[in-house]
Amino acid sequence: MTLYPLNVHRHASRRDLGVAAAAIAAEAIRAAIDARGTARIMLAAAPSQSETLAALAALAASEGIDFSKVVAFHMDDYIGLPTDAPQGFGNWLVANFTDLLPAQPDLRRIDTTGDAVAAAAAYAQAMGDEPFDVTLCGLGVNGHLAFNDPPADFGDPLAARVVELDSVSRQQQVDEGHFPTYDDVPAQAVTVTIPRLLNTKVVVCSVPGEPKRQAVADTIALDPDPNHPGTALKTHPNVHLFIDAESSPA
């Protein structure tokens, strides 16, 4: 396994982090549109991404990045929520990102209304094998990438699968205000797997906030270890990890 150094960017605030992360994502999107007439992006949907996505939407408006030429995917979604539930990650992205853009991307959403295994297979087919131009991700409190909780499969042969959420991931959703109680958090989700997330030209990983400090510390310090899923980022040659004063290890 070849390992690569992480490009770690420390910023004083969440806003500064978001502006800097968005600049790298925007550069990748512009380059893809200039080269091929289209760009493919993978998006996380979480409060940790709010500043980065808001800054990216602002750059699209100020610099004329044509998101109508962008095909966008998202990393995961719950099984068992109503289709209009605001906690659904596709719905969250519409409210917190695509609605802010001057031109709409082609957002390919995970449909979890039917059989979950079939939904994962359908999403794998929708993504295809072509690399993304940029993956915009975060880290969970337990270091998860998407809903690949520890121990994560760094060599998963599937592009998307049904997973059981661990207790830390479910509690994180409560702590971030998405659900009133632990029991309200769905126990299952469809997630894009780590190999598919990392089949991309560049990774922009935005991880603000004190609750993520240990996950950041582990990701930076440890060799790739399935018990710390974020360490899989070290297997990709072009990863930019953005942290703020609160998430930065001592």
User: Distance between CA 27 and CA 104 in Å, rounded?
Assistant: 18
Contact (Cβ atoms closer than 8 angstroms) between residue 205 and residue 242: yes
Return the domain boundaries, the chain: 7-244
| Residue that the structure tokens 């990774």 belong to | 203
- Stated length of the chain: 250
β-bridge mates for residue 74, sequence order: 43
Question: Residue 54, class by beta-carbon neighbours within 10 Å (0-12 exposed, 13-18 middle, 19+ buried)?
Answer: middle
The confidence score (pLDDT) of residue 91 equals: 96
pTM score, whole prediction = 0.96
Q: Dig out the tokens for 246 from the structure.
A: 């609160």
Task: Give the architecture-level CATH label for domain 7-244.
Answer: 3-Layer(aba) Sandwich (3.40)
Q: pLDDT tens across 157-204, in order?
A: 999 999 999 999 999 999 999 999 999 999 999 999 999 999 999 999
| Residue that the structure tokens 């998006």 belong to | 43
Contact (Cβ atoms closer than 8 angstroms) between residue 10 and residue 21: no
Per-residue pLDDT tens listing for the chain (250 residues) = 899 999 999 999 999 999 999 999 999 999 999 999 999 999 999 999 999 999 999 999 999 999 999 999 999 999 999 999 999 999 999 999 999 999 999 999 999 999 999 999 999 999 999 999 999 999 999 999 999 999 999 999 999 999 999 999 999 999 999 999 999 999 999 999 999 999 999 999 999 999 999 999 999 999 999 999 999 999 999 999 999 999 999 7
User: Distance between CA 171 and CA 174 in Å, rounded?
Assistant: 5
